[in-house]
Amino acid sequence: MHFHVEVRNLCKDYPGKRALIDVSFGVERGEIFALIGPNGAGKTTLLRILDLLDEPSSGTVLFRGAEVDYSIKDRKDLRRGIGMVFQRTVLFNMSTFDNVAYGLKVRGMSEREIREGVKAALELVRLQGFEGRNALALSGGEAQRVALAQALAIEPELLLLDEPTANLDPRNASIIEEVLSRVNREGKTTIIMSTHNVFQAENLAHRIALLNEGKIERIGAFQDIFERPHRFLSEFARLENVFSGFSKATPEGTSIIDVGNGLHIEAAFERSGSVIVHIPPEDIILSTRPIVSSARNTLEGLVVQISDLGSIVKLKVRSNRDFTAQITKRSFNDMKIGLNSKVFLAFKASSVKMI
Ligand code: ATP
């Protein structure tokens, strides 16, 4: 069995800059693969090579086990099955319909197929009724969703996205995340996306590659990579439930960490001085009633964001600080939680991990 997409020993040199250094990995069909890395790590460079827009300086790209030869025919044939959403949305000064229809027209679809394809794609990104609107007059979030609809209209077997939710408000970002999760689940679309947002990678990706200064530093499932989060991650990643503060060891061998805004978190380790801590969302117990338990940390807050990810729902809860908790869809429905619901959170001192 071969990978759906594979790169071997990729290098990319720009004048005076090595943007990719010996990058190798394979992505399975139907996998969501996230590239995480700070600015300038080489994510865009790598995605443009995978989109066959640019050629590597050395190394190979393989689709379904066959090496890309960069002939016009090879590029054209392969690119028919690839959808790409760029970091900066590139929409044409035309109606939303025409923008979404673009890829279908280029592929010589019939009028009826184009109409149906555009309709389905706009429904997917929840922009029904936007057909006649000029794409350049849309909000940033709407424009990004149109760009996604354009990429999805061709029903790509491979979808590439460069920071698809950067600079978007939470509502638009969560719509995009839901669409990605759905097309991957239902259409088995292979997705390779870059993101700065570790939380998003955790939600969506089956595997993650950490890219730093053109090199892959680590590759694996979220749990493998973030079990003991790497210190450099905290410099750029917007990890959820990450707090920096001042820790004071207690005589019981635990620590009380002042993370600001009047919030003190108890941790099972013994440490005095400044620390950065992470509480995994799955370790937070959420309830609509005050929680009586042995958990050393209990809080009360309001639900300010809900992300439906299929069987799991992530909730952002505003307390002294924002926390993210995750619960099953079933508990979510049972608890009848909505935006602005009052909820209670609890987590154990042993769930507070130092990074
Ligand atoms: P960001 O998150 O800021 O988009 P990135 O991980 O996508 O970063 P790239 O855009 O791939 O990073 O850039 C990798 C490196 O290559 C950077 O140092 C960048 O300045 C450089 N670079 C990118 N494109 C070119 C180019 N056309 N010519 C010269 N240098 C370039």
CATH of the domain at 296: 2.40.50.100
Determine, yes or no, domain membership for 28. yes
Per-residue model confidence as pLDDT tens digits over 63-118: 999 999 988 888 889 999 999 999 877 899 999 999 999 999 998 999 999 999 99
Between 38 and 200, where is the model more confident?
Answer: 200
Q: Is 14 in the pocket of ligand 1 (CB under 6 A)?
A: yes
pLDDT band at 245 (very low <50, low <70, confident <90, very high): confident
Determine, yes or no, domain membership for 174. yes
Ligand 1 mutation pick, 12, 13, 17, max ligand atoms within 8 A of CB? 17
Q: Whose CA is nearest to atom 18 of ligand 1?
A: 40
Q: At what angle do helices 96-106 and 111-124 cross, to 10 degrees?
A: 130
pLDDT band at 231 (very low <50, low <70, confident <90, very high): low
Say yes or no: 200 and 339 in one domain. Answer: no
Determine, yes or no, domain membership for 353. no
Q: Is the pLDDT score of 237 beyond 70?
A: no
Q: Is the pLDDT score of 232 beyond 60?
A: no
Between 36 and 5, where is the model more confident?
Answer: 5
Say yes or no: 134 and 156 in one domain. Answer: yes
Say yes or no: 78 and 181 in one domain. Answer: yes
Lowest mean pLDDT among 17-21, 152-156, 170-174, 214-218: 170-174
Residues spanned by the domain of 266: 241-278
Say yes or no: 214 and 318 in one domain. Answer: no
CA of 10 to the centre of ligand 1 (A): 15
Say yes or no: 117 and 258 in one domain. Answer: no
Say yes or no: 262 and 302 in one domain. Answer: no
Per-residue model confidence as pLDDT tens digits over 168-201: 877 888 899 999 999 999 989 999 999 877 778 8
Q: Give how far the C-alpha of residue 87 lies from the chain's centroid of Cα atoms, to the nearest Å.
A: 13
Mean pLDDT, range 329-337, rounded to an integer: 93
Q: Whose CA is nearest to atom 29 of ligand 1?
A: 14
**pLDDT at residue 236 in the model:** 45
How many domains, in total, are found in the chain? 3
Predicted TM-score (pTM) of this structure: 0.70
Q: Whose CA is nearest to atom 20 of ligand 1?
A: 40
Say yes or no: 183 and 304 in one domain. Answer: no
Q: Is the pLDDT score of 29 beyond 90?
A: yes
**pLDDT at residue 282 in the model:** 86
Determine, yes or no, domain membership for 111. yes
Question: With 0-12 CB in 10 A as exposed, 13-18 as middle and 19+ as buried, what is 23?
Answer: buried
Are 153 and 135 a contacting pair, CB within 8 Å?
no
Q: Is 44 in the pocket of ligand 1 (CB under 6 A)?
A: yes
Q: What percent of the chain has pLDDT over 90?
A: 67
Question: Which CATH number covers residue 188?
Answer: 3.40.50.300
pLDDT band at 37 (very low <50, low <70, confident <90, very high): confident
Q: Is 10 in the pocket of ligand 1 (CB under 6 A)?
A: no
**pLDDT at residue 168 in the model:** 80
CA of 44 to the centre of ligand 1 (A): 7
pLDDT band at 233 (very low <50, low <70, confident <90, very high): low
**pLDDT at residue 222 in the model:** 82
Say yes or no: 135 and 211 in one domain. Answer: yes
Length of the chain: 355
Determine, yes or no, domain membership for 354. no
Q: Is the pLDDT score of 123 beyond 90?
A: yes
Q: Which of these three, 227, 250, 278, is where a domain ends? A: 278
Say yes or no: 304 and 270 in one domain. Answer: no
Q: Which of these three, 278, 307, 338, is where a domain ends? A: 278
Between 38 and 305, where is the model more confident?
Answer: 305
Q: At what angle do helices 170-187 and 111-124 cross, to 10 degrees?
A: 120
Per-residue model confidence as pLDDT tens digits over 275-286: 778 898 889 999
Lowest mean pLDDT among 38-47, 96-105, 263-272: 38-47
Determine, yes or no, domain membership for 38. yes
Mean residue pLDDT across the chain: 90
Determine, yes or no, domain membership for 338. yes
Looking up tokens 């709407």 gives: 142
Say yes or no: 210 and 98 in one domain. Answer: yes
Say yes or no: 331 and 185 in one domain. Answer: no
Between 25 and 222, where is the model more confident?
Answer: 25
Determine, yes or no, domain membership for 355. no
Say yes or no: 33 and 133 in one domain. Answer: yes
Q: Which of these three, 212, 235, 258, is where a domain ends? A: 235
Q: Is 47 in the pocket of ligand 1 (CB under 6 A)?
A: no
Q: Is the pLDDT score of 38 beyond 60?
A: yes
Q: Is 37 in the pocket of ligand 1 (CB under 6 A)?
A: yes
